[in-house]
Amino acid sequence: MTITKRGIPVVEFVRKTEDAPRKRVFGVLGDKKVVIDPDWARPQEDLDAWLAGDV
């Protein structure tokens, strides 16, 4: 189907092919990769300085 303006084609409608259905992913992170730092629980030497505002 084509829409014309004063005989000049302006818009042409075409059928869209069906997209493949997306796989449902549950949860906040979905299928994102999560990398955890192995040293995440190490003690912070400068924690007291940071809390005092010196860092």
For the entire predicted model, the pTM comes to 0.30
Query: Please, what is the average pLDDT of the chain?
Result: 82
> 3-state SS of the chain: helix, strand, coil percent to 5?
10, 15, 75
Token pair belonging to 6 = 């004063």
Residue 9 pLDDT exceeds 70? yes
How many whole angstroms separate alpha carbon 30 and alpha carbon 28? 6
Query: Which has more confidence, 11 or 45?
Result: 11
Residue 55 pLDDT exceeds 70? no
pLDDT, mean of residues 17-29: 80
